[in-house]
Structure 1
């Protein structure tokens, strides 16, 4: 029997039992669609979490901690292979006060190397970078916490600074919360630049950024009033930036082997990927149960097909049809049910995924409010091609297994007994 004749044989039976075959295909479709849609939730959440992490952090950044981190160690880190830049930011450890005209605020001073900052994307909205120790760059939100001193003390209506900052001179003073006037000396800075706004709307930058040369001017002031041996005016944190994302792990491992404590976005992503791999596998397992339930329908349909066509099978055997041919015919029929059900399920799944991503954000926003979500862009369902392949393979495999037993039964039908049955 030629392959075309085999297809005709299968098609004729399907046409005779349209309703039963339709219900079987519907069951297979629902099972496969359930698996894809359920697993797509795991892929969607994973994609959302991964995107949020990558948007909020530089992907090649490695945070480095060491007990004796200083400028010497920073210079050694700069010479390492696959290192693009090393940003060593040092912050003042005590209370600070800034005064601009009649406005006063508690802006933090950060000492850094601007050459290294520029390598990793530090940009200005206005002005230029400092050229000496008396010049500073201020954050984009610097003026928002500058208020009139009298208004702060009397709790009158607060009015923050509104004018242009470039070229303005401010006075900077250090102190302790329990003794705010402990350091009477004041340092004058000229604002020469304003940093660009942070990438995220909810981030604010109130800091002042100065060149490392200011340390030699501020440390003597601090040391002249503080006698404690272990007290330090500045504390620093070091961020190492790899030249490429694929080199982050290499640099991190090398630093760990040398005794540094490191943390990078690659470590966070790796941990998250392991968790979501297990999570998505669990969802696929639960979805597979739905397909297994649908396989009962395929098994019943194929068993009925064998019973109803016993006489046809007997005739085919009498004409010389081999058991393998008969088995192939019934397996083709169960495979046809699985293929059609899978194709329809994939189409439905993409439709459900599209509607879910369109409607659910509106419902969640209405329930929680925009302030709760912020600018978080949530994707509830993502269907990658790998998921389609996995679901299709599971669906077709279950369909073939469900049809295998009835097909084997058809090959064992006795020819004489089959021909004795009435039409």
Structure 2
């Protein structure tokens, strides 16, 4: 029997009993849609977690700190949890460490980070903000998003990017008047602003000996992001400001916060950008093995996924139960078909149909039921997913249903396989029927 004849006969047999076939396919539709929707909700939860964390920063960026929590040296022998090959070595987060990070496989970019809290000035208005100094060429790579203008580049020197939530105010107003006054709206991109460590800047208490540093604003960051209250500028400029500040403090107060600074340049923090989120944990562990403390947003993402893992398993199990019930329905349909077509099977054997042909016929019918149920099931699950997302949006929830392409294709294939498996025992039963006994059956 040719494949074409086999398919035509299987389809014709199913259409002879439309209601029974419809009800059996309906069971597969419900089972397929249930498991797809349940799994899609779990996938949507994970994607929701990723979106939330991406608002805080890049999932591909690792934060590296010196093992003692500061910029100083650390004796590895004091921490038995560290890699034993590093015991007794001094670990410094300095230029050599930065270069060693660059040599790690899968690392795209590395930048030291320095933070200062300074004053900004634009005309008669001032603002205070957290200053983040880093290698300007790595700004975009490190996940700093820009919603106006542009990000810093390797050619930028006297340029900065300001967070959208940084508020400028008139320093001559009292605190109560500032709170009640309307917030000034400034178009800063392309304008020059002054940066200073003089907290009396803009008032009669300003220190005339402090010369502000001037920068051009080339971009702005979103007002609702994790860096909305920050200002990003080239690391070398931040180091210049810090050096000038310490010299000023030493002259004015006779002491400096930099007296304990080590001779070698050490950093408080280093950012490491990895080429793919799948490699973050590997690179992070490598850095830890070198003796440094390292963390990333993927740590929190994995913790969130573990928290919801049991829920996702329960949702998947509920969908799987529906598909098992559908499989029982297919088996029942095929067994009934054998009882009703016993004489037909006997005639097929007498006229020369092989046992293999009979087996393939029933398996093909079962596969048709599974395949049709899978196709309709993904259409139903697609509509259900859209409905779930619409309701979630109306309720202001970030938890949505997400169905990737592999889940669509996998559900069709799985439903078809379930159909074939469900039809296997009935097909074997049909093969074992005696031809003469089957012909005599009314």
- When normalised by structure 2's length, the TM-score is 0.71
Alignment partners' CA distance in 2, 1:402 and 1:208? 63
- Which runs of structure 2 are paired with 1:99-110 in the superposition (5 Å)? 107-108=128-129, 110=131
Point out the structure with the larger helix share. Answer: 1
Query: Given the superposition, is the C-alpha separation of residues 415 and 125 from structure 1 closer, same or farther in structure 2, using an over 3 Å criterion?
Result: closer
1:290 aligns with 2:319: no
Would the aligned equivalents of 2:64 and 2:271 in 1 still touch at CA under 8 Å?
yes
- Which runs of structure 2 are paired with 1:11-410 in the superposition (5 Å)? 11-54=11-54, 56-66=56-66, 67=68, 68-69=70-71, 73-80=93-100, 81=103, 82=107, 84-91=109-116, 107-108=128-129, 110=131, 112=133, 116-121=135-140, 139-140=162-163, 144-152=167-175, 157-158=180-181, 172-173=197-198, 187-194=210-217, 196-199=219-222, 201-202=224-225, 204-205=228-229, 211-219=238-246, 222=249, 224=253, 237-242=268-273, 244-245=275-276, 248=280, 251-268=283-300, 282-357=314-389, 359-365=390-396, 378=398, 380-410=400-430
Per-residue CA deviation, residues 171-221 of structure 1 (Å, 9 max, x unaligned), is 64469xxxxxxx999734244333622146455235596531233333356
Per-residue CA deviation, residues 261-307 of structure 1 (Å, 9 max, x unaligned), is 01134555566667777765554333221111112221221111111
Alignment partners' CA distance in 1, 2:359 and 2:406? 31
Would the aligned equivalents of 2:359 and 2:428 in 1 still touch at CA under 8 Å?
yes
Alignment partners' CA distance in 1, 2:132 and 2:213? 15
Query: Given the superposition, is the C-alpha separation of residues 83 and 140 from structure 1 closer, same or farther in structure 2, using an over 3 Å criterion?
Result: closer
Would the aligned equivalents of 1:103 and 1:160 in 2 still touch at CA under 8 Å?
no
Alignment partners' CA distance in 1, 2:10 and 2:179? 88
1:63 Cα deviation (Å)? Answer: 0.8
1:401 Cα deviation (Å)? Answer: 2.2
1:421 aligns with 2:423: no
Moved more, 287-296 or 267-276: 267-276
**RMSD of aligned C-alpha atoms?**
4.3
Alignment partners' CA distance in 1, 2:210 and 2:163? 22
5+ residue gaps, structure 1, are: 130-134, 176-182, 369-377
- When normalised by structure 1's length, the TM-score is 0.74
Query: Given the superposition, is the C-alpha separation of residues 321 and 57 from structure 1 closer, same or farther in structure 2, using an over 3 Å criterion?
Result: same
5+ residue gaps, structure 2, are: 74-91, 201-205
Would the aligned equivalents of 1:147 and 1:161 in 2 still touch at CA under 8 Å?
no
Per-residue CA deviation, residues 70-123 of structure 1 (Å, 9 max, x unaligned), is 69733223323246342321335xxx7778887666x2463735xx13432488
Moved more, 277-286 or 320-329: 277-286
Alignment partners' CA distance in 2, 1:206 and 1:9? 72
Alignment partners' CA distance in 2, 1:156 and 1:419? 96
Query: Given the superposition, is the C-alpha separation of residues 191 and 411 from structure 1 closer, same or farther in structure 2, using an over 3 Å criterion?
Result: same
Alignment partners' CA distance in 2, 1:153 and 1:174? 19
